[in-house]
Amino acid sequence: MRDINEANITDAVIQRLADTPDPRLKQIVTGLVRHLHDYVRDVEPSFEEWQLAIDYLTRVGQTCTDKRQEFILLSDTLGVSMLVDAINHRLPEGATETTVLGPFFVAGLPELPPGTNIAGNISGEPLFVGGKVMSAGTGHPLAGAVIDAWQSDDDGYYDVQRPELTEPALRGRFRTDAKGYFHFWSITPHSYPIPDDGPVGAMIRATKRHPYRPAHVHFMISAEGHETLVTHIFAEGDPYLDSDAVFGVKDSLIQTFAAREPGMAPDGRAVTTAWRTLERDFGLKPT
């Protein structure tokens, strides 16, 4: 096709994709071209706006490091991550709902003994976390399931954002026992802002949004014969539950982090200060 113009350019590009050998790739790229061209026709950007968009995406890429993924953050704050998550996790009854992975997951952590305090030397209100991992539908406990848990500190930072930390903190990997049970200690999470010192933060400010996420603990749970679960448990009463910057809150994932007086914890530990408990069971979808 020649003599390309506003009316026929979309068809011309799609025609060039006709011989793409992988049918799924053909579907993805063709859909991208069609919707992207429709978007451009809808908003009719000026040359200056188009160049600004290219510059913005360039800066998003340049902000990415081995410890920060600005493109995931952009996807999160535009609601794309949660939309992809919803499409890919249509779950049966009894399965724990999913939410975004977030940009601060760290793979390959060593497994820790039950009851380990993942806070280490980081101060905060003690939090006991415990629960069971089960197969959705049957409720059968899953022995040997692997639980990755991680969270931010009282100042809203993850360990990978703290250059002075040389070891993982407020994150750990555990395994369920024969009854599907696991437990560990941490500190009570608090609401915090997403990293807003880069291009995503600039977008947040330009659109008059706040950058805060409600208090939560991340969980990634895997077990043989089941889909890996990625989810959060959010603290009941947090002021940002209805305006999470990354649209990740679901009612079923909100829970009270119960306040406790000094005394004996479920694992037999004597606690001399005020503390809290998060006891939660998780249902995994069979593959």
Share of the chain above pLDDT 70, in %: 100
Q: What percent of the chain has pLDDT over 90?
A: 88
Average pLDDT for the chain: 95
**Mean per-residue pLDDT, 214-229:** 97
Give tens-digit pLDDT for 129-176: 999 999 998 999 999 999 999 999 988 889 988 889 888 999 999 999
Give the pLDDT confidence score for residue 103 in this predicted structure.
81
**pLDDT at residue 21 tops 90:** yes
pLDDT(261) > 90: yes
Q: What is the pLDDT of residue 200?
A: 97
pLDDT for 121 equals 87
Q: Determine the pLDDT at residue 49.
A: 98
Q: What is the pLDDT of residue 48?
A: 98
In angstroms, the CA 264 to CA 257 distance is: 17
- How large is the average pLDDT for residues 202-215? 97
Q: Average pLDDT, stretch 198-210?
A: 98
Structural domains of the chain in order of their starting residue, each with its CATH number: 9-66 (no CATH), 80-284 (2.60.130.10)
Confidence of residue 102 (pLDDT cuts 50, 70, 90): confident
Q: What is the pLDDT of residue 92?
A: 87
| Angle at CA of residue 255, ends 252 and 257, nearest 5° | 165
